[in-house]
Chain A
Amino acid sequence: MGQLKLDNVRKSFDTSEVIKGVSLDVTHGEFVVFVGPSGCGKSTLLRMIAGLEEISGGTVSIDGTVVNNLPPVKRGISMVFQSYALYPHMSVYENIAFPLRVEKLNNADVEKRVKQASSILHLDERLQHKPGQLSGGQRQRVAIGRAIVREPSVFLFDEPLSNLDAALRAEMRIELSKLHGDLDATMIYVTHDQVEAMTMANRIVVLDGGYIAQVGSPLELYHKPDNIFVAGFIGNPKMNFLPVSCIDSSNEHVEVKLPNSQTLKLPVNAMEGLSGNNMTLGIRPEHIRFSNGDAIIEAHPNVIERLGIHTVAYTTIADNPNTFCALLEGSAPAKVGTAMSMGFMAADCHLFAEDGNAFERRIPLTEIDPTLMIPDTD
């Protein structure tokens, strides 16, 4: 079994607190990804689960046992490092066998388990090679092999793909997802790459400055971000934000005034009496249409990137210092220096109060993706 429970976990280095109270439940077989900008504490949190970093407060339990004071090996975890951390003087075979040698397993058992791991990871041909003779992807597989021979209940990955080139990264992503299915194991994965997070995770934990900003399935984070941080972090190109002011609100909608004085009625859960409040409207670049929609704003393109399938337009709009980005179809007739009108639908908009928290959009998740959107019930 691989259950993991974090209860109000804290970590301070000297006087500065890096993890400021994180609580999380992970059930057996889940693939949970910690994601966040650098310095948000995601790696520290993982290292605390691993037992490489002392826990300043709160408890970490694995399979119901509090492991705060246990060494890594007694926690039933294994870890894959960003730099692979292979032992350069040992062959691939000995690298994978290392944890078993520590356990003093007899040679026959070691061989059996190493062979098993190497066949899962397609390393059979490479067993006698030294890590220095392998490519990046193969080294990464050896590091994973070393993690799986011990058959731990929880796997921890610390940015394992960030040293690989883009093509290999995509390949390894698929392999890791497959491995997760084959091993029926709990995996905790740290990354700063939201594509990795979106593609592999059952649940994503977005961390911001030592706090959990939001926990949810990938599409939940995409469609219903809890706050402006998650909204800006998930999605590429980044969500556009416009300052708006509220002119009317009810339980079921908020009516706002855009900088160019257009009004827009957004279907969100709110309350009465918000009128006059400053708010932030969020609209994803991919939801911007060329000259049609519930609201239309004038934009001046500065840079146009044509990717074939898409055209990305970086524009400026009146009274807004931030770049306004639109993801248009490949053949969109956008041109630098020629003003264009961009439209978007009220239903696609996100709305955030002044404190950064989102008003929940009135869109049932099941409508967006019925297969994935059945909420996890623990």
Chain B
Amino acid sequence: MINKYRWWEYVLIYSGIALFLTFILAPFVEAFVVSLRPLDALFSIPYQFFTDEMSFDAYFTMWSSVPLLFRYMVNSFFISTAVTVLALLAIIPASYAFSRFEFRFKNSILAAFLAINMVSGAVLIIPLYKVMQQLGVLNTYFAMIAPGVAFVIPTGIWLLRSYLIKIPKELEEAALVDGAGRIYTLIRVIIPVALPGIMVVAIATFIAAYAQQFIFALTFNSTNELNPLPVGLFQFFGRENVVWNELLAASLVGILPVLILYVFLQKHIVSGLTAGAVKE
């Protein structure tokens, strides 16, 4: 492609990007700086970006002030992973069916999925609580995982369906002529070919699950050992004061797994989101 921007257009573009990035990244920077500060230097007036006695102390003391911190992080990771795996088990066959089979109410069901997406999980928290109570599963991992799975499935189906539609029908017909059944074709042919698309869905699901676990854990769980990180962080809120530096240190460490995952998988995300857009 020919580069057709003028110098002032570049200036506009980059200042736009800079503004955008400032909004997104400023909280992270502030969180990091705060996590380095001693607690009593936090509320200094006037505001100082760099204060004396900055150190990584909070990153070490946080483990002892909240002893279960590591457990919370593991819980978070476990819940998100479980949600992702279970959701994919439903999303892959469902989106395959939506992309290939003709059946009654197909489009209405798809539209319904989209509509459900618009209802926030928070609205359904009370009814869900009753359901969990009836089933006697409150205060278990299941109570936090099951609703999480349910909420990510519709988006996943929409995402993966559009990817599967682009896979040529001949591939399946060839497999059918070669004697393979639907399930065999799905596992041996469609899933490997759709792997970039499945990656995108998996990552999107994982991130969604990581973000939404707070509300489910807060309502459906009161067993401390099972809490995920967002709920666990509340223990930094003391009776009299909040241990801000340790709280933010723990938050940043808690984000780390998602961040690392994202860095390593982002090339799949980009290639997955644009796959099929251009003829090879």
* A330 at the binding interface (Cβ < 8 Å): no
Q: Which residues of A contact B195 (CB under 8 A)?
A: 89
The reply to whether A85 and B171 contact each other, CB–CB distance below 8 Å, is yes
Query: 1/0 per position for A270-305, CB-CB distance to B under 8 A?
Result: 000000000000000000000000000000000000
Residue numbers in B under 8 Å from A103 (CB-CB): 179
User: Complex Cα distance A6/B184, Å?
Assistant: 31
Choose from A71, A77, A79, A89 the contact partner of B174 (Cβ within 8 Å).
A79
Complex CA distance for A89 and B179, rounded to whole angstroms: 19
Verify if B16 is at the interface (C-beta below 8 Å from A): no
Task: Say yes or no: A85 contacts B193, CB within 8 Å.
Answer: no
- Name, among B170, B174, B179, the residue most crowded by chain A CB atoms within 10 Å (CB to CB): B174
Q: Which of B168, B178, B189, B195 has the most A CB atoms < 10 Å from its CB?
A: B178
Contact B174 A73 (CB under 8 A): no
**A150 / chain B contacts, CB cutoff of 8 Å:** 178-179
Instruction: Indicate whether B192 reaches chain A with its CB closer than 8 angstroms.
Output: yes
| A83: contacting residue among B168, B175, B193, CB under 8 A | B168
A108 within 8 A of B: no
Partner of B176, one of A72, A83, A89, A146: A72
CB distance from A64 to the nearest CB of B (A): 21
**Please, which residue of chain B has its CB at the minimum distance from the CB of A73?**
B179
Indicate if the CB atoms of B193 and A88 lie closer than 8 Å.
yes
Q: Report whether B168 and A89 are in contact in the complex, using a CB–CB cutoff of 8 Å.
A: no
Given A51, A73, A83, A89, which contacts B178 in the complex, CB threshold below 8 Å? A73
Q: A83-B170, A85-B171, A102-B184 are in contact. Are A52 and B193 (CB under 8 A)?
A: no
Known: A78-B178, A99-B178, A102-B179. A87 touches B173 (CB 8 A): no
Within 8 A of B (CB), among A48-68: 50-52
Please tell me the number of chain B residues within 8 Å of chain A, measured between CB atoms. 17
Contacting residues of chain A (25-78) with chain B, CB-CB under 8 angstroms = 50-52, 71-73, 77-78
**Which of B177, B184, B192 contacts A89 (CB under 8 A)?**
B192
In the complex the two chains form, is B192's CB within 8 Å of A71's CB? no
Rounded to whole Å, the gap between the CB of B261 and the closest CB of chain A is: 23
Answer whether residue A81 sits at the interface, using C-beta atoms and an 8 A cutoff.
yes
Contacts of B170 in A (CB 8 A): 81-83, 85
**A98 and B177 form a contact (CB under 8 A):** no
Total CB contacts across the A-B interface at under 8 A: 57
Q: How far is the CA of A25 from the CA of B119 in the complex (A)?
A: 61
Task: Write the B156-177 contact mask toward A (1 if CB under 8 angstroms, else 0).
Answer: 0000000000001011011111
Residue of B nearest to A101 (CB): B188
Chain B interface, DSSP helix/strand/loop, else mixed: helix
Of the residues B177, B178, B188, B189, contact of A52 by C-beta under 8 Å: B177
- Complex Cα distance A165/B147, Å? 55
Q: Are B177 and A87 in contact (CB under 8 A)?
A: no
Chain B residues whose CB sits within 8 angstroms of the CB of A88 once the complex forms: 193
Bits for B32-69, please: 1 = Cβ < 8 Å to A, else 0: 00000000000000000000000000000000000000
B-contacting residues, A229-268, CB 8 Å: none
Kindly state whether residue B180 has any CB partner on chain A within 8 Å.
yes
- Report B178 CB to chain A, min CB distance, Å: 4
Q: Is the CB of B179 within 8 A of A52?
A: no
* A51 to B173 Cα, complex, angstroms: 10
A2 → chain B closest CB, angstroms: 16
- Rounded to whole angstroms, the CA-CA distance of A45 and B33 in the bound complex is 72
Q: Which of B168, B171, B176, B189 contacts A71 (CB 8 A)?
A: B176
Q: Report how far A71 CA is from B182 CA in the complex, Å.
A: 12
Find chain A residues with CB under 8 A from B192 CB. Answer: 87, 89
Cα A81 to Cα B173 in complex, Å, equals 9
Q: Which residues of A have CB within 8 Å of B184?
A: 102
> What are 18 residue pairs bridging A and B, where the CB atoms are less than 8 Å apart in the complex?
A50-B177, A52-B173, A52-B176, A72-B177, A72-B179, A78-B178, A81-B170, A83-B170, A85-B168, A85-B171, A87-B171, A87-B174, A87-B175, A87-B189, A87-B192, A88-B193, A102-B178, A102-B184
Using A73-B176, A81-B170, A98-B175 as known contacts, list a sample of 6 further A-B pairs with CB atoms less than 8 Å apart, ordered by residue number in A: A87-B171, A87-B174, A87-B175, A87-B192, A102-B178, A103-B179
Nearest 10 Cβ contacts at the A-B interface: A73-B179, A85-B170, A85-B174, A99-B178, A89-B192, A102-B179, A72-B177, A79-B177, A81-B170, A102-B180
